[in-house]
Amino acid sequence: MTAFLLVALAAYRGARRDAQKHTCIYALGVLEDVKRRWAEENSKMNGDEVRDSDLRKYFKGGIMPSCEAGGTFTIRPVGTPPKCSVKGHALPEEAARSATRPR
């Protein structure tokens, strides 16, 4: 019984981590979308710096998305997808590249 509970608990924790990662990557995608919108509206080019304060107005109540697992987001310049400080919390490279640098 105890062993079963431990296994169930481990599975639960794993599922919770996956859910947090999923939510985080979704938030990074939203950030990237907003970044692109901001860049377009302000005639910014790839490589231009983006600050928190530039994007804040696009979010309801000025609240920026954040990582549920406690990671810190780095917005990074236009054309470079934002990232989270938690390992594994990252936008798929391919999606980010095809969206920002059409070939």
Binding site for Zn ion (CB under 5 A): 24, 67, 71, 84, 86, 89
Residue with Cβ nearer Zn ion (24 or 91): 24
- How near is the Cβ of 29 to Zn ion at its closest, in Å? 12
State the DSSP code for 81.
-
In whole angstroms, the minimum distance from the beta carbon of 31 to Zn ion comes to 11
Query: Judged by CB, which is closer to Zn ion: 57, or 87?
Result: 87
Q: How far is the CB of 14 from Zn ion (least distance, A)?
A: 16
Task: Give the integer Cα–Cα distance in Å for 87 and 52.
Answer: 22
Query: Is-contact 50 64, C-beta < 8 A?
Result: no
Burial call 65-101: b when 16+ CB within 10 Å, e when fewer = bebbbebebebeebbbbbbbebeebbbeeeebeeebe
Question: Of the two residues 32 and 44, which places its CB atom closer to Zn ion in the complex?
Answer: 32
